[in-house]
Amino acid sequence: MPESAPILEVHNLVKQYPSVTAVDGVSFAVPEGTCFGLLGPNGAGKTTTIEIMEGILPPTAGEVRYRGERVGARFREDAGILFQKTALQDFLSVRQSVALFRGLYQRGLDVDEVLRICALEKLAQRDNRKLSGGQQQRLLLAIALVNDPKVLFLDEPTTGLDPQARRNFWELVESIKARRKTIILTTHYMEEAQLLCDEIAIMDHGHIIAQGAPQQLLREHFAEVLLELPRQEFPEGARHLPFKLIDASDRVEISTHDLDGTLRALIDAHVPLRNLRIRPANLEDLFLELTGKELRA
Amino acid sequence: MMRRLLSVWHARNLEFLRDRPTLLFTLLLPIGLVIGMGFIFGGPPRPLFTVGLLGTSRATAADPFLRERRYVQFVPIHDEAAGRSEVTHQEIDLLLDLRGAARYWVNTDSPKGYIVEKLLIAADPGARRQPVTGQAIPYVNWLFPGILAMNMMFSCLFGVGYVVLRYRKSGFLKRLHATPLTAFEFLTAQVLSRLSLILFVTIVLYVGIGAIIHFHSVGSIALLLLLAVIGSLSMIALGLTIAARVASEEVVGGLLNLLTWPMMLLSGVWYSIEGSPRWVQWVAEILPLTQVIEAARAVMLDGAGIQKIIPNLVYLAVTTLVFLGFGAWSFRWRVD
């Protein structure tokens, strides 16, 4: 992970609603030029945290600092934001939509340049309501980039996209990363986080329950390999075996250092192995390990 | 299918019943309208003649005439020039001055003036006659300024109110909030956008309808344009105030109806409310549309200059600032 001064600092953030505490004492710092991921299931407090950072929601307590100052006018000029859901003004073309937002900033990129970065040149004259899901997200990303932001917030940017559109979007984000932009990303796609993020914070019930570089976190929590077996094929009698068992919705996972010994023990216990899968641990496993829940539950 | 239909029907009923402001408007608006219409149009049948009175009533030879309330409606007039103008345009049938020796103005071109004069002379043969002449203003000409102003009102209130609400509900306002754009800038842009649209439409209507009914403004067109600008600004600002923070179509619709119906009925679009109870006239004077229509008629029909309509312009300018200030203060970018 690149070492540099934090561009954003979040101190003891709390957001309380009448019936729920959405964010409960969250603190972290984001170094400049990195991609920081906030991970967690729906309702974990990711979007509330990111919207407080964006200055859209006021916190109940705590503060967010941008380059050492409280978030203010300078931050608004420097930040690019892609919300989870955004409607644009009706009856505008793609180019006109980008131009509308370009006009709201003092400095930024040329509209054609933004359209080129987001591969929207051929769609420039199309009505913004007549775009596919992936095209719509690229347009919203173009709008987020229109001020050539120092910090880019992407709140679940690929939710609802098909796998191809998602991969295209990731390529776009990687090209933006290559321009040394700081990116704050919320997602519940582990593949996305592993691919794009230099550092992640896993949230649950408004708290950060783990934070660090993805590989570092995986090394800390999983020195082992994982064996997956369908739950219905795993006999109850085998639960006494001296393994670290993790119950997922449709499978049982065994975490082990000794692959040969574990396989022998399973065979001895007459556990059917025809649907056995062996793989390294990923962030999904980490979340399951930390919370006992699956990330996309 | 019926089950799905009933489920949706039930859920919508619950939603409606739990939305207290909407429920309140839905119930209170028709009640208010019925009571209001009753006050305005209720009571005994309308008299045949309208006589303006200058000065307070005291013991005079005209007393028997003044007691004739079955067929004559007496309307207090505070400004002699305005009263004379109304006689000239046959808006009233006779103007009686009781401030000194009784004298009266009657339009010699008016058949109703001729008859009501006979009634007065029968009671007070010594009353001094001041004849004036002038054709009655055709109703369509009298109506024209009111129609233009009413169209402006609808465009200002509904055009701005619902658009801002839609932006808020769709999340577009939230997206704008994430940019350096301020609430004041956004509101000002909305005001200016709507103002230019309204001016364009009003000019087209003025020219188009004017050509059809052969209408020519007696007064200055530039002054009319100034009035249209300030009047539109006041009503756009009122629309923004309504939409500043509300996130429910029903509430915005209710509030807009609550404003537009009284304006339509009380601002003198369709008829003069001179004969209405004092409190109705007082309420009417508060409404921006009344100020616009009064001033527009004064300019278009009587050729009034800026001195005559300056109170209307000042009132509209002040309400613009008040509404805009309140709108900016209470503005919300997002649905809470």
The mean pLDDT value for B89-94 works out to: 86
CB contact under 8 A, A105 and B171: no
Say if B181 falls within a structural domain.
yes
Residue A1 lies in a domain: no
CA proximity to A233, closest of A189, A277, A194:
A277
**DSSP-assigned states of every residue in A53-102:** HTTSS--SEEEEEETTEES-HHHHHHEEEE-SS----TT-BHHHHHHHHH
Do residues B216 and B319 both lie within one domain?
A: yes
φ and ψ at residue A234, rounded to 5 degrees:
-95, 110
Query: What's the whole-model pTM score?
Result: 0.72
* Inter-chain CB proximity A83 and B181 less than 8 Å: no
Q: In terms of C-beta density within 10 A (0-12 exposed, 13-18 middle, 19 or more buried), how is residue A248 classed?
A: middle
Q: Are residues B108 and B166 in the same domain?
A: no
B181/A87 touch (CB, cutoff 8 Å), yes or no: no
Contact B172 A89 (CB under 8 A): yes
Closest residue in chain B to residue A73, using alpha carbons only: B180
Is there a single domain that holds both residue B167 and residue B300? yes
Q: Which domain holds residue A249?
A: 223-280
Q: Each residue of B144-176: pLDDT tens digit?
A: 888 889 888 988 888 788 888 888 888 888 888
Q: Is residue A286 part of a domain?
A: no
**Is residue B17 one of the residues assigned to a domain?**
no
pLDDT at residue B295 greater than cutoff 80: yes
- Both B195 and B222 in one domain: the answer is yes
Mean of per-residue pLDDT scores for chain A: 87
Q: In this complex, do B178 and A54 lie within 8 Å of one another by their Cβ atoms?
A: yes
Please compute the mean of the pLDDT values over residues A11-25 and round it to a whole number.
92
The mean pLDDT of A99-124, rounded to a whole number, is 90
Query: Of A17, A101, A154, which to mutate for an interface test with B (greatest number of B Cβ within 10 Å)?
Result: A101
**Which of the four pLDDT bands, split at 50, 70 and 90, describes residue B3?**
very low
Test A86 with B174 for CB contact under 8 angstroms. yes
Give the number of domains in chain B.
2
Establish if B181 touches chain A: CB-CB under 8 angstroms: yes
Instruction: Tell if the CB–CB gap between B171 and A87 is shorter than 8 Å.
Output: yes
Would you state the pLDDT for residue B61? 64
Q: What is the pLDDT of residue A66?
A: 93
The strand pairing partners of A212, in sequence order, are A200
- Report pLDDT for B26: 53
Q: Would residue B10 count as lying in a domain?
A: no
The residue out of B112, B132, B152 marking a domain boundary is B132
- Let me know whether A133 and A199 are in one domain: yes
pLDDT at B293 over 90: yes
Q: What is the pLDDT of residue B309?
A: 93
* Interface touch A76/B170, C-beta < 8 Å: no
Lowest-pLDDT range, A81-85, A174-178, A281-285? A281-285
Q: Which of A160, A187, A213 is the last residue of a domain?
A: A213
Task: Give domain status of residue B267, yes or no.
Answer: yes
A239 and A165 both lie in a single domain: no
Residue A150 has pLDDT above 90, yes or no: yes
Domain end marker among B132, B153, B176: B132
Q: Give the chain A residue nearest B170 (alpha carbons).
A: A87
DSSP, res B335: -
Tell me: do B58 and B178 sit in the same domain.
no
Q: Give the residue from A86, A20, A18 showing the smallest Cα distance to A51.
A: A86
Same domain? B255 vs B221: yes
* A1, pLDDT greater than 50: no
Q: Are residues B91 and B240 in the same domain?
A: no
Q: Residue B170: its chain A contacts at CB < 8 A?
A: 87
Residues A119 and A163 grouped into a single domain: yes
Which residues are within 8 A (CB) of B268 and not within 5 positions of it... i.e. 6 or more apart?
A: B146, B284, B290, B293, B294
Decide if A56 and B178 are in contact by the 8 Å CB cutoff. Answer: yes
Which pLDDT score, from 0 to 100, does residue A297 have? Answer: 43
Residues of B in contact with A77 (CB under 8 A): 180
Chain B residues touching A73 at Cβ < 8 A = 180
**Arithmetic mean of pLDDT, A188-209:** 89
| Number of domains making up chain A | 2
Query: Is A158 domain-assigned?
Result: yes
Q: Which residue has the higher pLDDT, A267 or B70?
A: A267
Q: Give chain B's mean pLDDT.
A: 81
Residues of B with Cβ-Cβ distance to A54 under 8 angstroms: 178
How far, in Å, CA of A215 to CA of A234, rounded?
30
The verdict on B211 and B314 lying in the same domain is: yes
| CATH code assigned at B114 | 3.40.190
Owner of token pair 């980008």: A98
Residue range B246-278, pLDDT digits in tens: 878 888 888 888 888 888 888 888 877 776 778
pLDDT over threshold 70, residue B10: no
Q: What is the pLDDT of residue B320?
A: 93
pLDDT band (50, 70, 90) for residue B322: very high
- pLDDT per residue as tens digits for the range A32-42: 999 999 988 88
CATH number at residue A274: 3.30.70
From residue A91, alpha-carbon distances to A82, A99, A284, B29 in Å are 21, 14, 41, 35
Range of the domain at B126: 49-132
Do B187 and B287 lie in one domain? The reply is yes
pLDDT for position A59: 93
Q: What is the ipTM of this complex?
A: 0.79
In B70-220, alpha helices (H): 80-88, 111-123, 139-170, 172-177, 183-213
- The CA-CA-CA angle for residues B278, B283, B286, to 5°, reads 130
Q: Are residues A199 and A234 in the same domain?
A: no
- Interchain CB distance below 8 Å, B178 and A73: no
Please determine, for residue B6, whether its predicted confidence score (pLDDT) is greater than 60. no
Report pLDDT for B19: 67
Which chain A residues are within 8 Å of B177, Cβ to Cβ? 56
Digit-coded pLDDT (tens) for B192-245: 888 888 888 888 888 888 887 778 888 899 999 999 999 999 999 999 888 887
Tell which of B163, B166, B169, B174 to mutate to test the A interface (max A CBs under 10 Å).
Answer: B174
- Are residues B71 and B210 located together in one domain of the fold? no
Whether the predicted pLDDT of A56 surpasses 70? yes
Contact of B180 with chain A, judged by CB distance below 8 Å, is answered with: yes
Render pLDDT for A212-248 as a digit per residue (tens, 0 to 9): 998 888 888 776 788 889 988 888 888 888 877 878 7
* B70 shares its domain with B170: no
In a domain, residue B197? The reply is yes
* Judgement on whether residues A174 and A229 belong to the same structural domain of the protein: no
Residue B2 inside a domain? The answer is no
Residue B163, domain member (yes or no): yes
Last residue of a domain, one of B108, B132, B156: B132
What's the mean pLDDT in B4-13? Answer: 50
Q: A51 pLDDT exceeds 80?
A: yes
- Chain B residues touching A101 at Cβ < 8 A: 179
| Better-scored residue on pLDDT, A294 or A191 | A191
Statement to judge: residues B111 and B147 lie in one domain: no
In a domain, A63, yes or no: yes
